[in-house]
Copies of this chain bind each other. A is one copy, B any other.
């Protein structure tokens, strides 16, 4: 059977590509690297992937679209990209509202350890006399002797791709060059003045973040973030693993999407600075176990079912060419060690960056995301658990949820029945991000609109019923000048309850196993983008975090990225992470008979009297 393929042209980005039969405009866009938002994972519920069909034939509007768009909008070609299947060649308009903004991450906000650069890839400057009949050594031997004589460095191996170009490079550079050495292997020859670049990628389930680093100075010179294009195959780890498990074609596709995302990120980071991607001499990649395995193209069958065994947990150095990565052909990708189950290298990186193992006293490190990892550090000994917490904290499964992009409501206050909010970028509100929904529900709880069990009261002027469920109006249609209201639904509250209960239950089991109580914890470090922006008071009030004095909570930002960067620029920090990971004890929760019990216990909000005493 030959499948039809259509040519889709995207405006205003002016990118064109093929769309296969039964593929949505959203999938096609993600495949082409066009970052259309799609927080709900293609279900049609987040409405973030609005597009307009300018020409061409597409599938009829789905019910979900007919409900969302006005008849006039439908007539004008407005559609949801995730619901629209091309049935011929099309031209599609993507409004900027529907685009992930790829905004720069303010890396200076993250706590960076002051570590002197000592990268794995070292560069040595050489100027050699050209070969002659009286000095007929081979090119490699000539470089090798130069390194030995000038720097007392011995270098046994030569990367095969460098071997194929070294003779021509040395001659085109007139024997004046810098040679890059990784361990005892020569990996690159560059002009004497070229800078050496390193790259970091935090491969998150939902978002991918990347840094470009000057390896000599250790400075981050460019940073970007993008949607994980695998999202079309499921929003959370479990559904992606299931998808890969179901068909090997899906597994290959998920692998390719991850490596292509790496390539796009590299290209994008470099083009900002007019650098060439082949100037990247090493990359460090971190991610949870599922992301780690999919990125490497490892089988996931044994990881998807109990007892959830990874193929490999220890650190790896893989040649970029073995993964079809388009950085320097001799470069390696360093995969930091994963811990166990779904607790991946991002958590290792976070623990290393926060130096939690070096501090006395009982501590917790918490990385909240679609999957949440929690480590208990008890006098240097680390025990880690992991739990699926869903995409709610990243705006997923929330009716008006969105990623923390401009226009996302990130802070909410309800005073005397009046709603006050702040948006990212202080622009008009478009939806609610994770910290916003947490704030909103906490405020509703404080105002008595929601009870301890999460049930919404009907007795409030901003509470109404739509589509058979109660919702609290944050921004009304009037306030949005006719656009649909932004609301928090009863369903949204249930999503948040489920997510926070899972995290809190894991938290409790971890402590119980170690024979400690929540009150004994002296310090809680919260990492991740969501963790950076949440209001701790709201989180405590809703019972996501335990009722402890606020001074014990530390929001450490994207510590995974920071840890990965430290591993990139510092061989000793890399070694520390390797040692640390090998010492960590992983606790598998999925078969813990207590987990379900604790989950149910943790679904209610906090006793308000108790939290009040903390102030």
**Beta-carbon contact of A163 and B133 below 8 Å:** no
Contact digits for A14-46, partner B, Cβ 8 Å, 1 yes 0 no:
000000000000000000000000000000000
- Majority secondary structure of chain A interface residues (helix, strand, loop or mixed): mixed
Chain B residues whose CB sits within 8 angstroms of the CB of A312 once the complex forms: 138-141, 158, 163
Q: Which of B131, B158, B319 contacts A309 (CB 8 A)?
A: B131
Chain B residues whose CB sits within 8 angstroms of the CB of A297 once the complex forms: 164
Chain B residues whose CB sits within 8 angstroms of the CB of A171 once the complex forms: 302
- Is there a chain B Cβ closer than 8 Å to A271's Cβ? no
Chain B residues whose CB sits within 8 angstroms of the CB of A396 once the complex forms: none
Contact digits for A113-133, partner B, Cβ 8 Å, 1 yes 0 no:
000000000000000000111
**Beta-carbon contact of B307 and A131 below 8 Å:** yes
Q: Which among A310, A586, A591 has the highest number of chain B CB atoms within 10 Å?
A: A310
Q: Which of B299, B306, B318, B321 contacts A167 (CB 8 A)?
A: B299
- Is there a chain B Cβ closer than 8 Å to A287's Cβ? no
- Is there a chain B Cβ closer than 8 Å to A436's Cβ? no
Q: In the complex, which residue of chain B has the Cβ closest to the Cβ of A587?
A: B136
Chain B residues whose CB sits within 8 angstroms of the CB of A318 once the complex forms: 160
Contact digits for A267-310, partner B, Cβ 8 Å, 1 yes 0 no:
00000000000000000000000000000111101100011111
When chains A and B are docked, how far (Å) is the Cα of A306 from the Cα of B132?
Answer: 8
Chain B residues whose CB sits within 8 angstroms of the CB of A314 once the complex forms: 138, 140-141
When chains A and B are docked, how far (Å) is the Cα of A82 from the Cα of B193?
Answer: 53
Q: Which among A138, A139, A338, A341 has the highest number of chain B CB atoms within 10 Å?
A: A138
**Beta-carbon contact of B167 and A298 below 8 Å:** yes
**Beta-carbon contact of A167 and B302 below 8 Å:** yes
When chains A and B are docked, how far (Å) is the Cα of A314 from the Cα of B155?
Answer: 12
Interface residues of A in 39-92 (CB under 8 A from B): none
**Beta-carbon contact of A298 and B141 below 8 Å:** no
**Beta-carbon contact of B168 and A298 below 8 Å:** no
When chains A and B are docked, how far (Å) is the Cα of A131 from the Cα of B341?
Answer: 12
Chain B residues whose CB sits within 8 angstroms of the CB of A131 once the complex forms: 302, 307, 309
Interface residues of A in 305-362 (CB under 8 A from B): 306-314, 316-319, 321-322, 338, 340-341
- Is there a chain B Cβ closer than 8 Å to A526's Cβ? no
Q: Which of B167, B322, B586 contacts A136 (CB 8 A)?
A: B586
Chain B residues whose CB sits within 8 angstroms of the CB of A588 once the complex forms: 133, 136
Chain B residues whose CB sits within 8 angstroms of the CB of A309 once the complex forms: 131, 136-139, 167
When chains A and B are docked, how far (Å) is the Cα of A297 from the Cα of B168?
Answer: 13
When chains A and B are docked, how far (Å) is the Cα of A318 from the Cα of B168?
Answer: 20
Q: Which of B132, B166, B296, B308 contacts A311 (CB 8 A)?
A: B166
CB distance from A378 to the nearest CB of B (A): 21
Q: Which of B136, B168, B306 contacts A299 (CB 8 A)?
A: B168
Interface residues of A in 136-194 (CB under 8 A from B): 136-141, 157-158, 160, 163-168, 171
When chains A and B are docked, how far (Å) is the Cα of A136 from the Cα of B299?
Answer: 17
When chains A and B are docked, how far (Å) is the Cα of A316 from the Cα of B164?
Answer: 13
Q: Which of B302, B316, B586 contacts A139 (CB 8 A)?
A: B302
CB distance from A147 to the nearest CB of B (A): 14
**Beta-carbon contact of B160 and A319 below 8 Å:** yes
Known: A160-B322, A167-B298, A168-B301. A311 touches B138 (CB 8 A): yes
6 A-B contacts, Cβ less than 8 Å apart? A133-B306, A136-B307, A136-B309, A138-B340, A163-B298, A166-B311
A140-B312, A167-B302, A167-B309 known, 10 other contacts, Cβ within 8 Å: A131-B302, A131-B307, A136-B308, A136-B588, A138-B312, A138-B313, A140-B313, A158-B312, A164-B298, A321-B322
Q: Which 9 A-B pairs have the closest CB atoms?
A: A138-B313, A140-B312, A138-B310, A133-B307, A167-B311, A131-B309, A160-B322, A167-B302, A167-B299
Write the residues of chain A forming the contact surface with B, with a CB cutoff of 8 angstroms.
Answer: 131-133, 136-141, 157-158, 160, 163-168, 171, 296-299, 301-302, 306-314, 316-319, 321-322, 338, 340-341, 586, 588, 591
